[in-house]
Structure 1
Amino acid sequence: MNINLIRNFRQFLTASLKMTSKLTIETVKQNAEVAKRTIVELRNELNNLNAEYNNLRAEQLREENAKLLIAVEQARKNLVDLEIANDVKQIPVPNRTSYKIDALATGESAQTVSELVKAEAAPTPNVKDSKPKKEKKPKETKEKSSEDTNIPIDVGRLDLRIAKVEDVQRHPDADTLYVLKINCGEDKPRTVCSGLVKRVPIDELKDRLVVLLCNLKPVKMRGITSEAMVMCASSPECVEVLIPPKDVVQGDLVECSGYIRRPDTVMNPKKKIFETVVPDLHTNENLEACYKGIPFTVPGKGTILAKTLKNVAVK
C-alpha cells in the first residue's frame, strides 16, 4: 500500500514538473514576442522623433540664415551710406537681394525666403523679347569730366551771394553756435550754423544783410544741418561780419574782377576748392574784402567791406 502511494506521488510530481516546464517555455516565448514588438515600436518611434527633430532643426537654421541675410544687407547699406557721406564713388552693380529682405520684413516664412534664394541662384533664361538696356555714353562723360578738370580753382568757383538773416537762435546742443535762417534769394531760407556766439552779439545779426557762401557741402553740426557759411573778416582778437554795399538785395551776386564767376553747384570736398582759395582772401588797407588784392563787388552797387579790420583774413 505504501509503495503504491509512493509510486503515485512520483508520477504526480513528474507530471506536474512536465506541465510547469511547458508553461514556462510558453511564457518565455510570449514574453520574447512582446519584447520584439516593443523593440520594433520603439525603433519606429525613435525614427519618427529623429525625423521631426531634423525638420525642426532645418527650419531653425533657415530662420537663422534669413536673419543673417538681413544683418548682412543692413551692414552693406550702412557701409554704402558711410561711403556716400565721405564722397566715395559708388559703382552700380546688379542687386537682387532686396526682395528677399522685403519678404522677411513683411513676415514671409524662412521657407519662402529660401525658395527666393534658390530662384536667384537659378540661371536666367535668355528672353529675346526683353527690352534692350539703354547704352551709356562714355564719351560725353569723359568730355564733361575733362571740362571740370580744366576749370581753374580760383574765386570764381565760390558761389557768393548777398543774403538776409531772418532769424537767429542759440544752438540747443552747442554753446558756441548760432542757428540762423538766412534768405539768399531762393524759395526758402537756408539753415546756417555759425560759431559767432562769442564774437558777435545776437542783436547785431538779426535782420542784417551778409555775404553768404552758398555752395559748400551741407554738413551736420551737433545734429543740425548747416547749408552755407557767413563770410567774416577775422583776426585772433576780433571777428566782423562783412558789410555789403548800399542798395543791395538778397540774391545779388558777388563777383571779383578778372575772374569768371562759374561756381560749382556743390564744391567737392575732395578737390579742396575752398581750402585752395581761402588763403588768398583778405581785407586791404581800405577795409575791402579781396581775392589776391582784387576787391569783391556787387556789380553796379559797390564793394564788400569790413567794419574796422584791415589786412586780415576773410573766411
Structure 2
Amino acid sequence: QIMEYFKTHALLSREKALLQASVREQKKLLVENGKLKKDIEQLRAQLQDKQKRRTGTEPKTNQPCYLSSAPPPHSLSPAPNNPASQQAPPAGATAAEEGGHCGGEIKNRLLFLARPSSDPLSLESRVDVSRLDLRVGRILSVRRHPLSETMSVQEVELGGDSPRTVVSRLGGRTNPDQLQGSLAVFLCNMKPSKIRGVASQARLLCCSASDDQVEVLVPPAGSAPGDRITFLDYPGEPDRELPTKLKIWELLQPDLQVDSKGVATYKGCGFEVKGKGLCRAPSERHSANMLLL
C-alpha cells in the first residue's frame, strides 16, 4: 500500500507539473495574441490614412478606392492637344498610384496577421488527438455478427439517451462473456457506417503488441459511461464528426501507443479521465499499438 501511495503521488506530481506548464504556455499565447491585435489595429489605421490621402489628391471624391499599383481606370486623362500632358502623367495620378501600392502592401500584411485566428483552413489543418471524441462506454450486451464469425455486435451505453450499436472485429480473440458489463474506450465521432449489413455508430479502441494478442483498453476505476478521455497537452475540442477524406485516425495512429507501464499515450501524453486517472492496457506491454476494432 505504501508503494502504491508513492506511485500515485509521483503520478499526480507529474500531472500537476504538466498542467502548470500548460497554463504558462496559454498565458504566453494570450500575450502574443494581444500584441498581434495591436499590430493589426495599427496597420488598419495606416491603411485608412493612406486611403484618405488618396481621395484627397483626386479631384472626384466619389471615385472608388483601388488597392493596386495601377491607377484607376477613370483617373485624370491628359488633354488631347497638350503634348506635355501626353508625355508625363499628372501629379494626382502619381500620388494615387503610390498610395494604392502602399495600401496593397498594408492589406497583405493585415491578411497575413489575421489568418491564423480567422481562416477556417488553418483550423482544419490542426491534426492532433484532441479532434477525437474518445469516451468511456459500458458494454451492455455482446452477440456474434449474423454474417461474420470474426465480428461481434455490442450494445454500448455512452451516456446518451439510448445505447449505440458498435460492430467490432474481435472475433475469437476475446471471450464475449468477459466483455459484457465491462467498461471500455470508444471513438464516438466517426461517421456511422454499415459493416456487413449492421450499422456501427462508434468504434472500440484496443491495444495490440501482435496480431494474436489484442486487448481492450481499460478506463480508470470510478469512470462512468459518457466520461470523455482528455489530453493535458492537447486541450482542444473534438470534431462533431471526423471528415472521412482527411483520414484523421490514420494520421494519428502511429503516435498512439501503450508505454512500458501499460499507460495509453499520444506522443507521451496519457489518456486521462479528469479526476479519475489514466486509461491502461490490462497487462503491461512495451510498445503496444492502438487499434480500432
**Would the TM-score normalized by the shorter structure come out above 0.5?**
yes
Write out aligned runs for 1:48-197 (5 A). Answer: 146-147=119-120, 149-151=122-124, 152-197=126-171
**Is structure 2 residue 193 aligned with structure 1 residue 204?**
no
What amino acid does structure 2 have at the position aligned with 1:282? Q
State the superposition RMSD in angstroms.
1.9
Higher strand share: 2
Aligned-pair CA distance for 1:219: 1.0
Aligned-pair CA distance for 1:160: 0.4
Task: Tell me if structure 1 keeps the 8 A contact 2:166–2:203.
Answer: yes
Structure 2 match to 1:311: 287
User: Per-residue CA shift, 1:107-134, capped at 9, x if unaligned?
Assistant: xxxxxxxxxxxxxxxxxxxxxxxxxxxx
Deviation >3 Å, runs of 4+: 142-146
Alpha-carbon distance between aligned partners in 2 of 1:296 and 1:314, rounded to the nearest angstrom: 12
Higher helix share: 1
- Contiguous gaps of at least 5 residues in structure 1: 1-141
Alpha-carbon distance between aligned partners in 2 of 1:245 and 1:300, rounded to the nearest angstrom: 10
**Is structure 2 residue 255 aligned with structure 1 residue 280?**
yes
Structure 1 match to 2:228: 253
- Contiguous gaps of at least 5 residues in structure 2: 1-114
What amino acid does structure 1 have at the position aligned with 2:243? N
Aligned-pair CA distance for 1:263: 0.8
Structure 2 match to 1:239: 214
Equivalences, count? 174
Query: Which stretch shifts more, 296-305 or 234-243?
Result: 234-243
Alpha-carbon distance between aligned partners in 1 of 2:192 and 2:121, rounded to the nearest angstrom: 21
Q: Which has the higher contact order (CA 8 A, sep 6+)?
A: 2
Alpha-carbon distance between aligned partners in 2 of 1:155 and 1:286, rounded to the nearest angstrom: 21
Question: Structure 1 length normalisation: TM-score?
Answer: 0.53
**Is structure 2 residue 242 aligned with structure 1 residue 267?**
yes
From the CA coordinates, give the structure whose radius of gyration is larger: 1
Identity %: 39
Question: Structure 2 length normalisation: TM-score?
Answer: 0.57
Q: Relative to structure 1, is the Cα distance of residues 303 and 230 closer, same or farther in structure 2, using a 3 angstrom cutoff?
A: same
Q: Relative to structure 1, is the Cα distance of residues 259 and 143 closer, same or farther in structure 2, using a 3 angstrom cutoff?
A: closer
Task: Tell me if structure 2 keeps the 8 A contact 1:287–1:311.
Answer: no
Task: Tell me if structure 2 keeps the 8 A contact 1:177–1:195.
Answer: yes
